[in-house]
């Protein structure tokens, strides 16, 4: 069941929503704002972190607890194509498949990164949110599917998805792109959002992505009332 998480985000007990497939953030950082060599050596020495053979990026897997429960995170930081430093963090539901390995805590790793970056709170990144929803519990705000225009010349064609683009996202409305699609044959709905996030690189970024996922979803999908028997 993909019921929404009822735990208020920002409290002591935050859970990764079951209907959120992945939450990710990408942040480009100017090279002169990062002590990259020192950071690379620090991260590569952590358990379950590895360095590329060329030493141009470090990647690893982290536990999200105790900041956020019911998820794990993949982190990569390294040199981009234009010499910038790229920070990429992806968070997935559930624990990592390797249950016998002890992973470093995100709340211990992220401060190592923010401490190596000048003014990390002033960086701007892009958050990607992907939702997988049951149409027994959710419905799109824009009714889908609907008949395709005759210009296609394809009998029986329907439009099952819509793609929204928003000009100049603001802190009040940071969504840049939104895609909603329904799959009637399997009673599923997919929602994908691209969000412009100011102050993106902070130690609580995982909890902030959960907060953003909960706040943004009702703009494109509404939860249906529970059915009453009898």
Chain segment 181-194, per-residue pLDDT in tens = 999 999 999 999 99
Domain count for the chain: 1
Mean of pLDDT values over 154-164: 87
Tell whether 173 is covered by a domain.
Answer: yes
Strand segments, DSSP code E, in the chain are 20-29, 49-51, 57-63, 71-79, 85-93, 104-105, 124-134, 138-140, 146-147, 158-159, 161-165, 175-183, 188-198, 221-223
Give bridge partners of residue 183 from the DSSP assignment.
188
Mean of pLDDT values over 44-73: 90
Tell whether 85 is covered by a domain.
Answer: yes
Cβ atoms of 148 and 206 within 8 Å: the answer is no
Which pLDDT value is given to residue 11? 45
Residue 139, pLDDT > 50, answer yes
Tell whether 134 is covered by a domain.
Answer: yes
Structural domain range at position 42: 20-223
- Residue 134, Cα to own-chain centre: how many angstroms? 19
Tell whether 183 is covered by a domain.
Answer: yes
Cβ atoms of 87 and 201 within 8 Å: the answer is yes
Which pLDDT value is given to residue 178? 97
8-56: per-residue pLDDT in tens? 334 456 899 999 999 999 999 999 999 999 999 999 999 889 998 887 8
CA–CA separation, 174 and 154 (whole Å)? 37
Average pLDDT, the chain: 87
For 83, other C-beta atoms within 10 Å of its C-beta total 9
Tell whether 14 is covered by a domain.
Answer: no
Tell whether 3 is covered by a domain.
Answer: no
Burial class from Cβ neighbours inside 10 Å (0-12, 13-18, 19+) for residue 59 reads middle
Residue 228, pLDDT > 50, answer no
CA–CA separation, 24 and 206 (whole Å)? 9
Tell whether 162 is covered by a domain.
Answer: yes
pTM over 0.85: yes
Specify the pairing of strand 161-165 against strand 85-93: unpaired
Tell whether 81 is covered by a domain.
Answer: yes
């Amino acid at each position: 069941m993909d019921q929404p998480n009822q735990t208020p985000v920002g409290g002591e007990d935050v859970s990764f929503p079951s209907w959120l497939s992945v939450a990710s953030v990408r942040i480009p950082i100017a090279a002169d704002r990062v002590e990259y060599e020192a950071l690379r050596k620090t991260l590569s020495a952590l358990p379950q972190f590895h360095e590329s053979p060329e030493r141009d990026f470090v990647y690893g897997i982290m536990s999200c607890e105790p900041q956020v429960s019911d998820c794990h995170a993949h982190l990569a930081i390294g040199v981009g194509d234009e010499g910038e430093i790229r920070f990429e963090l992806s968070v997935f539901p559930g624990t990592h498949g390797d249950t016998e390995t002890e992973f470093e805590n995100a709340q211990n790793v992220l401060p190592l990164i923010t401490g190596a970056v000048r003014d990390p709170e002033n960086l701007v990144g892009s958050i990607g949110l992907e939702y997988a929803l049951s149409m027994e519990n959710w419905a799109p705000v824009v009714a889908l599917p609907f008949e395709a225009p005759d210009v296609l010349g394809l009998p029986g064609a329907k439009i099952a998805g819509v793609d929204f683009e928003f000009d100049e996202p603001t802190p009040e409305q940071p969504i840049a792109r939104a895609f909603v699609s329904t799959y009637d044959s399997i009673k599923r709905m997919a929602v994908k959002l691209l969000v412009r996030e100011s102050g993106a690189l902070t130690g609580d970024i995982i909890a902030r992505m959960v907060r953003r996922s909960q706040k943004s979803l009702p703009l494109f999908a509404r939860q249906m009332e529970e059915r009453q028997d009898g």
